[in-house]
Each structure stands twice: as C-alpha cells, then as structure tokens.
C-alpha cells in the first residue's frame, strides 16, 4: 500500500490471499521443477470495504467441517450443498429455505470469497464484560534516569489511551522482579521475585497468593461456564488476580503516582559489569500472573526493555562488560554460551503463553542488544509486536507504542485469540506456515510429510494478530496423479480464521479461494506473482538460515534463481545474449539481487537482534511491505517534474534532486548537493522561491504519509549528499558507480559508492551466462 511504485491497487483483494503461483502444477515433480515453492501469503483479518459481516453462524460440512462457500454446488430445490473439499452432500437447515438462485445468502455470492461471521458467544457472556482485554506492562528499570523517564511518560500516555474497561497490570524489574499490587490502597505494595531463579506459573500464583483462593473459587465457576472463553472479569471478584489487574478507569491514578515514584534499579552495579537485569524471570512472572486468568482471556504482556538480560534464565550475556553480547560470528562459531539456553527458555515461555492464549510484545530501546534474537521465538509464536529503537525518547518507539492503543482509523486493529484452520482439496498438502503463529498439531490427511515453519497441522493459533498480520502457507502437491472425479481442474483452499476483535466480538472469517490445476509451463508462467515469490524466497531463506546449520543463503538463492531462469527463460543453449525472460519474471532477478544484498541475507552487518527484528517483520508484514524491505522504493523529486519512482541506483543521485528512499525500517530524505546548498542559504524562505519550498516540502509530506501507516514507525533520516547520514541511502543503492568505474560514470554529478559489491548489471550478466549453460 505504501509502495507507490508497486501500486497495483489492492492486489490482495477481498481474499487477502496472494500466491506464488496462480495456477498450480499438477504433479509433485512438476512442482519441484517450478523452483519457487507453491505458497500463499494470507492476511487473515485484513479489512476490506466489501467484506460482509454475517450475524449468524456458518454452515459447516458434516464430514470435513469446511464452511459453506461460493464454490459449493448448491441444489436449491433439495436444499442441499456439496462440499467442494470432500464432496459430502449437506442439507441446508430450514431457515435457508427461502434461498434461491436469485436470492443468495452472502456466503454464496461469488464476489465474496471472504465473508465474516459474527459469532455469539456460546456462554452468552455480556460482551461488554467479555471484551475486557488485559494489558500487563513489564518495565525494565535498569536504565539511566532519562530513559526511564521517557519510558514512564510513554506508559502514562498509553494508560490514558486504554479503553476504560481494559484491565491493567504492572510489573517492573531490574535485578529482581516487582509485581505491583494495584488494588492495595493503603500504600504502594509490590511483590518481589528473585531475578536469578526461574519460577513456574504455579509458584508465581502461589506466591502471589492467587493460587489457593483462585483455584478454589474459580474452579466451580469455570465448570459452570463450560470452560469456554471467560475473561478475567467474568470469573468473579474473588479471584485474587483482581488485586493485580484493575480496570484502567480505576487505576490510572494509582499507576500514575506509582510511575512517578518509580526509580531506576537500586541494586549496585559492580564496576566493569552490566546491570543485573532479569528480563527472563520478569516475563515468567508476568506469564504466571496472567495464568491466573481463565483460558481464552485476551491479554498482552507489553515489555519495555532497555538492555540485555544478564540475570537468571533467559540471560544472553554475562555480567562482565568485557564479554560482548553475541554477534552473528559468535553464533556461527557456536561461541555464544548463553544463546541456546536462552532460546530454549523463551521457547518454553512461548509455549506457556500460547497455551494461555496470551501475547508477548517487546519494545526494546537500547544502544546495545537486548536479546530479541532469543525472544523472537516467543514473540512470533504468540503473534506479538516488536519494536526496536535506540531510545525510549525516539519517535520510533514513542509513536509506535502509541499506535497500539489508538483506536479508529489509525488503529492497528489488534485482535486476540485467533485460530487459523485450512481446508483444502484432496491432493493438496500443507507443509506449514512461516509467520506469527503456532502449530496446534491438528493432524489430518492434508498434512504434508515435509515441514516448513509451524507444520504438522492444519490449524494454528495466533494469540495476537492485527489487520496487517500476514502468514505464509507452504503447500505441497501430492505425488499421485490428480484424480479428478468431477472433471474439474479447480482446486480449493479455505482459510477459517476465528478471532476476538478489538471490540470484543468473536468473529469467524471464511476465505475460500479457487485455483486451477495446470500442466503446461505456459500457464504457470502467466500465473507467477513475482512479488510474492520474492517475498516467499526471502522468508524461506531467512527461515533456513535460522534453522539449518551452515546454510549458505546466497548460493541457495543464486542456484534457485539460475534454475528458475533456466526453466522459464527463453534462450538458446550456451548463448547468454539470447536470453530473455517473460515479463512475468522480469523483476524477479532484481528482487533476488537486492535480497542477496539485503539485511536478511547479509546478516553480518547487523547484530543478531536486528536480524531477528527484521525477520519478524519480514514474516508478518504484507507482501507489499515485505517487498519494500527487500527492495526499497526510491522516489525522485525535482523541479519541473512530478515525483516519480526512480531506479534504485546510485545514478539516481543528482545535485538538484531530492530522493525519498523507503526501505521500510527507515525512510530517508536525501537532498542533492545543490538542493542542500540552496536550503542552507534559506532560499525556501524567500517568496520568489516558493517552488523550492514546495519541492523541499513534498518529500517530507510523503514521508509522513508512509510513516503514518506503518507499524513499527520507521526511522526518518533526513540527510544531504556527502553527509554522513547519506550512508542510509547509499547502502541500498545499486553500486553501478564505484571507485573502480568512477571515471566513466561520474559524468552526471551523481555519486560513487565505495564498495566491492557487484552491480546489478554484472549480476544479470552472470545470471544470463549461467542460466543458459545450466542443465
């Protein structure tokens, strides 16, 4: 959406689904020859203007429980529909009797492959009560005074934005964990947990004095309510947890004064040591605390962390400052003694959270790493949000943080307790999903033998999701010949997403897509979606880099690209000059070129934390956003012309241009030399140079547009040619002009990139040569 140069309008459409191949190869062999895996990118709860909300319950197939959809064959007279997945004949209930060819219920409209059912809570809970989400803030206090002040003020603002019925809890930590009992009026009261010792949920509850009371009293209550989703408030006022979680309307004053008094961690820091920070235990405690709420309650743990965990489980580095935090090199060489243990810890924590249905959000602001690489697993499994910034005072943090709590247009559309189920035609197998979800291990015939990401299932849990959440589903085609009893060449995939929306309603989104089986290469080519393919390759490469030891992503990408070109290119053998690619593939090599150079593959330029952060976002953002991450967009602003996308190339730099680079994580406004000079002279303030002022203004406004819609908020860099900040731009440009060929290229007054990297041209040349000689 925010990438103008790709401005196909709404490629996802109402389905919210994009696939690498619109038409699917019929056999497994064929599929493997396609090089690019068959995958779908789905945004399960993407809003759409045409989306119909149906106030009744869906009809499900009695054998496969697929939901009635436009692709079902319907016998209006007999009131029977045939499930396209299992071919089961199902009767419509009587209230569908008025239905006819011309009077279709919404879920049968062909134009509405997606519909959403609004489900009455089975327990007839008062929706207003049921809706109360829990926000448990976990604040690190091991930071300098100034940072803590920033964090506190952000928290205060956030609490002010919370809906009145939202339940709020507060945990602060440093060397130890402090759980604040907000419901205690006599004085400030906190429970202190030791930071060096892991603590189970049961222990947390017992020690907080919740377990005994809670279990005893909540027990019968839960049985009565049938064990369904019963948010905390519904469980009765006796539950001890209400001492710690209060409606925002009741505790904002308490929290305010509490925050006012909160000081940085007072435990002494030995010289030459890091502060003792027990992030791991703090999260354990927070998780345990939320464990007291009944299943199905919507809750988020919002962690504000200012440095690495050095105490207790989840530690990522020793206390000694002379030990640096692990780098990619350390990870490669297995020289990060804390890494595996910490990952295991967060894995377990993630499982715990998922079983409770709660979300972990991490907001990290630190100059050093804080351990996102280790926490990643817990964040992704729960569908949490993550923001990495340099300071709590920085807009990247401040504005992003605020976004979570905003409502209305700007809202992230945060939803809870999501479950995705996939039904698909018989010969299709699901390998797994890469993205913010957890496998529910629901076995079935559609489960593939090979697993990618969260697999071995046809159902996934998404504790937290929002309207832009995106999942990548990998499909496999069964090896057997397509038996085609109906003679149809269509295949169907149905995505069922149930979730609790931010206003507390239970929803079920049903998206059914139909695609075609094809056998010819021609049909395949036409159905190729380059962007999706690029993104899927990026996600897959990232995934493999994490999962497979010694995986060489560059070679893997190269080889696949070459194979793809060999398969789908037009050329004469061994004649590179004869090589041409179908337009459907034309951008793909360039995507791959940029992907090879991107932070996703060239991880050594980044810390493991940054890499983890980038990957989390790569995996959960929409295709168009992910494409920008891989290949940033560049817009040029100049006198006498409209802003226009321009080549992502060093040659796009010109003294009298302003460039706007959107690389997703940062937005760079780059002033050419002359522009910078004029601006410094103050020309924009002179009435006769109104045009110049407008020129200066235009990229700013566009940048704000980009920033406004994006979460996390990108970092805005405004720089001038030859300025030090210009590196943010130069790093992303194709190095067509380097010091080695500076002479020939320098004519335009553009710039030179000091690098040994190959330029796109060289890359393409090699590709052509290799593609034609291959096989």
Q: What's the rounded Cα separation, in Å, for the pair 341 and 325?
A: 15
At its nearest, how many Å lie between other proteins and the CB of residue 345?
19
At its nearest, how many Å lie between other proteins and the CB of residue 172?
11
Binder among 118, 153, 165, 207 for other proteins (CB under 8 A) = 207
> Total residues contacting other proteins (rule CB under 8 A)?
27
Binder among 203, 560, 684, 740 for other proteins (CB under 8 A) = 203
Q: Is the peptide bond before 666 cis (omega within 30 degrees of 0)?
A: no
At its nearest, how many Å lie between other proteins and the CB of residue 290?
17
At its nearest, how many Å lie between other proteins and the CB of residue 196?
8
- Token output for 645: 């996308």
Q: Which CB atom, from 144 or from 746, has the smaller least distance to other proteins?
A: 144
Helix (H, G, I), strand (E, B) or coil at 275: coil
Q: Which CB atom, from 129 or from 190, has the smaller least distance to other proteins?
A: 190
Neighbours of 260 (CB within 10 A): 10
At its nearest, how many Å lie between other proteins and the CB of residue 200?
12
Q: Which residue has the tokens 């239970």?
A: 506
132 touching other proteins, by CB under 8 A: no
Helix (H, G, I), strand (E, B) or coil at 635: strand
Q: What's the rounded Cα separation, in Å, for the pair 677 and 656?
A: 10
208 touching other proteins, by CB under 8 A: yes
At its nearest, how many Å lie between other proteins and the CB of residue 269?
10
Q: Which CB atom, from 213 or from 666, has the smaller least distance to other proteins?
A: 213
Q: Which of 660, 640, 730 is nearest to 700 (CA)?
A: 660
Q: What's the rounded Cα separation, in Å, for the pair 231 and 165?
A: 12
At its nearest, how many Å lie between other proteins and the CB of residue 408?
37
175 touching other proteins, by CB under 8 A: yes
Q: What's the rounded Cα separation, in Å, for the pair 388 and 442?
A: 34
**Strand 666-671 relative to strand 715-720, pairing:** parallel
What track of x and - describes contact with other proteins for positions 266 through 305 (by CB under 8 A)? xxx-------------------------------------
Neighbours of 128 (CB within 10 A): 11
Q: Which residue has the tokens 């130890």?
A: 176
What track of x and - describes contact with other proteins for positions 405 through 434 (by CB under 8 A)? ------------------------------
Q: What's the rounded Cα separation, in Å, for the pair 536 and 36?
A: 8
- Cβ(619)–Cβ(539) under 8 Å? yes
At its nearest, how many Å lie between other proteins and the CB of residue 313?
15
Q: Which stretch binds other proteins (CB under 8 A): 203-211, 328-336, 702-710, 766-774?
A: 203-211
Q: Which CB atom, from 18 or from 152, has the smaller least distance to other proteins?
A: 152
At its nearest, how many Å lie between other proteins and the CB of residue 605?
39
At its nearest, how many Å lie between other proteins and the CB of residue 168?
19
Q: Which stretch binds other proteins (CB under 8 A): 220-228, 265-273, 603-611, 631-639?
A: 265-273
180 to 199, contacts with other proteins by CB under 8 A?
Answer: 181, 184, 186-194, 197, 199
Q: Which CB atom, from 281 or from 629, has the smaller least distance to other proteins?
A: 281
Q: Which CB atom, from 176 or from 225, has the smaller least distance to other proteins?
A: 176
Q: Which residue has the tokens 């354990």?
A: 284
CA atoms within 13 A on the CB side of 249: 4
Instruction: Please give the span between the terminal C-alpha atoms of the chain, in angstroms, as a whole number.
Output: 39
Helix (H, G, I), strand (E, B) or coil at 268: coil
Identify the bridge partners of residue 512 per DSSP, sorted by sequence position: 494
Q: Which CB atom, from 188 or from 761, has the smaller least distance to other proteins?
A: 188
b (16+ CB within 10 A) / e for 166-205? bbbbbbbbbbbbbbbbbbeeeeeebbebebeebbebebbb
Main-chain phi, psi angles of 278, to 5 degrees: -105, 60
Which class for 535: exposed (0-12), middle (13-18), buried (19 or more C-beta within 10 A)? buried
Binder among 23, 41, 172, 176 for other proteins (CB under 8 A) = 176
Q: Which CB atom, from 290 or from 534, has the smaller least distance to other proteins?
A: 290
Q: Which CB atom, from 178 or from 279, has the smaller least distance to other proteins?
A: 178
At its nearest, how many Å lie between other proteins and the CB of residue 288?
11
388 touching other proteins, by CB under 8 A: no
Binder among 27, 132, 141, 178 for other proteins (CB under 8 A) = 178
Q: What's the rounded Cα separation, in Å, for the pair 542 and 611?
A: 9
CA atoms within 13 A on the CB side of 256: 9
Q: Which CB atom, from 192 or from 321, has the smaller least distance to other proteins?
A: 192
- Cβ(732)–Cβ(663) under 8 Å? yes
At its nearest, how many Å lie between other proteins and the CB of residue 197?
7
At its nearest, how many Å lie between other proteins and the CB of residue 184?
8
Q: Which stretch binds other proteins (CB under 8 A): 177-185, 289-297, 347-355, 403-411?
A: 177-185
338 touching other proteins, by CB under 8 A: no
At its nearest, how many Å lie between other proteins and the CB of residue 726?
47
At its nearest, how many Å lie between other proteins and the CB of residue 190?
5
Q: Which CB atom, from 57 or from 263, has the smaller least distance to other proteins?
A: 263
Residues 6+ apart with CB under 8 A from 724: none
Q: What's the rounded Cα separation, in Å, for the pair 495 and 465?
A: 15
Q: Which CB atom, from 196 or from 456, has the smaller least distance to other proteins?
A: 196
| Long-range own/partner contacts, residues 722-730 (CB < 8 A, 24 or more apart) | 722/673, 722/751, 723/676, 725/668, 726/670, 728/661, 728/663, 728/666, 728/668, 729/653, 729/659, 729/661, 729/668, 729/670, 730/650
745 to 774, contacts with other proteins by CB under 8 A?
Answer: none
528 touching other proteins, by CB under 8 A: no
At its nearest, how many Å lie between other proteins and the CB of residue 440?
34
Q: Which CB atom, from 115 or from 241, has the smaller least distance to other proteins?
A: 241
Binder among 93, 209, 220, 324 for other proteins (CB under 8 A) = 209
222 to 261, contacts with other proteins by CB under 8 A?
Answer: 257, 260-261
Strand stretches in 425-554, DSSP E = 428-434, 438-439, 459-465, 471-477, 490-500, 506-518
Q: What's the rounded Cα separation, in Å, for the pair 740 and 754?
A: 9
Residues 6+ apart with CB under 8 A from 220: none
- Cβ(176)–Cβ(278) under 8 Å? yes
Q: Which CB atom, from 138 or from 730, has the smaller least distance to other proteins?
A: 138
**Radius of gyration (Cα) for the chain, nearest Å?**
27
- Token output for 592: 């791959």
Helix (H, G, I), strand (E, B) or coil at 147: helix
Q: Which CB atom, from 66 or from 246, has the smaller least distance to other proteins?
A: 246
What track of x and - describes contact with other proteins for positions 562 through 601 (by CB under 8 A)? ----------------------------------------
b (16+ CB within 10 A) / e for 302-328? bbbbbbbbbbbbbbbbbbeeeeebbbb
Q: Which CB atom, from 52 or from 207, has the smaller least distance to other proteins?
A: 207
Q: Which CB atom, from 184 or from 604, has the smaller least distance to other proteins?
A: 184
- Token output for 52: 């119909």
Q: Is the peptide bond before 712 cis (omega within 30 degrees of 0)?
A: yes
Q: Which CB atom, from 254 or from 598, has the smaller least distance to other proteins?
A: 254
Given the rule CB under 8 A, which residues bind other proteins? 175-176, 178, 181, 184, 186-194, 197, 199, 203, 206-209, 257, 260-261, 266-268
């Amino acid at each position: 959406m925010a990438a103008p140069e790709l401005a196909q309008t709404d490629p996802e459409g109402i389905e919210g689904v994009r696939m690498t191949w619109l038409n699917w190869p019929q056999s497994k062999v064929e599929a493997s020859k396609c090089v690019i895996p068959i995958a779908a990118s789905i945004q399960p709860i993407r809003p759409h203007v045409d989306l119909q909300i149906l106030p009744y319950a869906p009809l499900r197939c009695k054998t496969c429980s697929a939901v009635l959809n436009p692709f079902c064959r319907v016998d209006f007279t007999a009131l029977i529909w045939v499930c396209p997945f299992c071919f089961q004949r199902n009767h419509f209930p009587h209230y569908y009797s008025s239905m006819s060819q011309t009077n279709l219920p919404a879920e049968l409209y062909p134009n509405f492959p997606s519909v959403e059912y609004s489900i009455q809570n089975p327990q007839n809970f008062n929706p207003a009560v049921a809706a109360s989400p829990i926000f448990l803030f976990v604040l690190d206090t091991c930071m300098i005074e100034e940072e803590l002040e920033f964090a506190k003020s952000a928290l205060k603002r956030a609490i002010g934005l919370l809906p009145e019925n939202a339940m709020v809890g507060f945990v602060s930590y440093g060397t130890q964990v402090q759980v604040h009992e907000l419901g205690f009026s006599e004085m400030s009261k906190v429970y202190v947990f030791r930071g060096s010792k892991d603590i189970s949920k049961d222990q947390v509850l017992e020690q907080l004095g919740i377990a005994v009371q809670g279990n005893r009293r909540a027990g019968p209550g839960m049985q009565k309510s049938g064990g369904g989703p019963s948010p905390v408030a519904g469980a009765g006022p006796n539950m001890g947890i209400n001492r710690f979680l209060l409606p925002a309307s009741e505790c904002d004053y308490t929290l305010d004064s509490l925050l006012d008094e909160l000081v940085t961690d007072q435990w002494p820091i030995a010289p030459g040591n890091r502060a003792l920070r027990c992030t791991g235990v703090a999260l354990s405690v927070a998780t345990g605390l939320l464990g007291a709420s009944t299943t199905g309650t919507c809750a988020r743990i919002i962690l504000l962390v200012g440095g690495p965990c050095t105490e207790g489980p989840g530690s990522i580095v020793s206390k000694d400052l002379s030990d640096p935090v692990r780098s990619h090199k350390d990870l490669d060489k297995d020289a990060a003694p804390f890494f595996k243990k910490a990952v295991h810890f967060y894995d377990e924590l993630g499982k715990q959270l998922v079983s409770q249905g709660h979300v972990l959000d991490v907001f990290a602001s630190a100059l050093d790493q804080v351990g996102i690489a280790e926490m990643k697993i817990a964040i992704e499994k729960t569908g949490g949000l993550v923001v990495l910034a340099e300071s709590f005072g920085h807009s990247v943090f401040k504005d992003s943080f605020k976004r979570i709590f905003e409502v209305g247009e700007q809202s992230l559309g945060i939803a809870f307790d999501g479950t995705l189920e996939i039904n698909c035609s018989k010969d299709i197998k699901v390998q797994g999903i890469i993205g913010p979800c957890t496998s529910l291990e629901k076995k079935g015939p559609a489960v593939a033998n090979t697993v990618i990401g969260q697999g071995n299932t046809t159902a996934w849990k998404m504790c937290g999701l929002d309207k832009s959440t995106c999942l990548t589903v990998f499909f496999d085609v069964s090896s057997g010949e397509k038996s085609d009893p109906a003679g149809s060449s269509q295949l169907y995939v149905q995505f069922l997403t149930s979730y609790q929306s931010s206003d507390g309603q239970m929803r079920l989104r049903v998206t059914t897509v139909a695609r075609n089986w094809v056998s010819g290469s021609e049909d395949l080519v036409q159905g190729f979606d380059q962007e999706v393919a690029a993104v899927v390759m990026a996600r897959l490469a990232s995934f493999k880099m994490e999962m497979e030891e010694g995986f060489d992503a560059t070679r893997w990408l190269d080889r696949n690209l070459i194979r793809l070109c060999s398969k789908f290119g037009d050329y004469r053998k061994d004649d590179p000059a004869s090589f041409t690619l179908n337009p459907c593939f034309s951008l793909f090599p360039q995507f791959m070129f940029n992907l090879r150079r991107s932070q996703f593959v060239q991880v050594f330029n980044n810390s493991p934390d940054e890499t983890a952060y980038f990957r989390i976002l790569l995996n959960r953002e929409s295709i168009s956003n992910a494409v920008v991450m891989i290949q940033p967009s560049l817009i040029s602003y100049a006198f006498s012309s409209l802003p226009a996308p321009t080549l992502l190339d060093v040659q796009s730099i010109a003294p009298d241009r302003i460039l706007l680079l959107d690389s997703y994580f940062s937005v760079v406004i780059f002033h050419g030399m002359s522009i910078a000079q004029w601006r410094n002279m103050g020309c924009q303030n002179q009435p006769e140079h109104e045009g110049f002022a407008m020129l200066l203004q235009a990229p700013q406004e566009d940048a704000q547009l980009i920033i406004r819609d994006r979460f996390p908020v990108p970092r805005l860099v405004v720089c001038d040619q030859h300025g030090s900040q210009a590196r943010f731009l130069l790093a992303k440009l194709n190095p067509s002009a380097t010091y080695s060929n500076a002479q020939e290229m320098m004519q335009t007054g553009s710039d030179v990139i000091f690098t040994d990297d190959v330029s796109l041209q060289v890359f393409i040349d090699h590709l052509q040569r290799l593609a034609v000689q291959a096989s």
